[in-house]
Amino acid sequence: MLRGGVVETLPGRGLQARGRLGELEVTVDLFHDPSRPAQSPMWRVLAVGPVRFERPLEARVLHWQGWIDPWMQLGETLLVPGGVGPEFTVHSEHTTSLDHPLVVELRHQGAAIGAGALHVRRDLMRAEVQFRAKTEDNRALIGYLHVMRDLSEATQSRQSSSEFARHRRGISVERK
């Protein structure tokens, strides 16, 4: 999935993959956090590139424990009920609605999203995703990578949240 991808073993850290995903420069590694045994080991993803969000947001899917940015727990919380995909919460410094691009993209991925967290801020995204021993059970990692790519591409066009939501649902938007 990553263009120009390189897999390397870093001393003391283990395997790491790096490459491009659309306009994003992405690094994926397998991480073990002894303080969070329920989530460890986990995939950690860092994506740097165009993301045009003015304020940071963090989504926690399927009651993911731990915070990528602990300050986010002090903000407002939006509960997004399950449906096609799992239930998740979005935490932000301001009120967030169901038509926000982050919510729309996570819902769009549906069942491909599994337990994890996604933190989004200007020109940076981070994700933590539950690791599974069987390769085919790690589809959630791919789902989060798709969300990151789509958020980057969508925010480059600077659509409003409602225009973005209508576009994702297949409703055309006519500008005058």
Q: Quick: pLDDT tens for 77-114.
A: 999 999 888 999 999 999 999 999 999 999 999 999 99
Written as six digits, the tokens of 6 are 């390189």
**CA gap 48, 11 in Å, rounded:** 23
Low-confidence ranges of the chain (pLDDT < 50): 160-161, 171-176
In a domain, 34, yes or no: yes
Which structural domain, as residue segments, surrounds residue 9? Answer: 3-168
In a domain, 173, yes or no: no
Written as six digits, the tokens of 91 are 């935490």
Count of the separate structural domains present in the chain: 1
Nearest to 45 by CA among 152, 142, 168, 166: 142
